[in-house]
Amino acid sequence: MEDSPEPSQTRVTGAASGSSSRADGLVDPGLTGHHPLSPEWRRAALKEMAAAPLELLVVGGGITGAGVARDAALRGMRVGLVERSDFASGTSSRSSKIIHGG
């Protein structure tokens, strides 16, 4: 099993703008946006999130919530994203058409 980065070392990269900024969250561009969510990595992420307050908590991990969380993280905010189901589980059936055409 490969070593996972600590959440405080995680970076988000904006592909279109070429920008790069720090973000605390479940993003690893080295794995094209996917991260093996091992129990150890999850425990470390939850511990770090509990240690410092968030500036923004996004409720809902559909395309709109994920887009809002990504944008805020790219702007340097400390962001949390929570979802009742799996991330992006209802995106096609309830698309807002604001960020994508679904």
The per-residue pLDDT for range 32-81, each reduced to its tens digit, is 444 567 788 878 878 887 888 889 999 988 878 888 999 999 999 999 88
pLDDT at residue 22 in the model: 44
At 43, phi and psi to the nearest 5? -60, -45
pTM of the entire predicted model: 0.50
pLDDT at residue 68 in the model: 93
pLDDT at residue 18 in the model: 40
Instruction: Kindly give the residue spans of alpha helices, DSSP state H, lying in 1-102.
Output: 39-51, 63-74
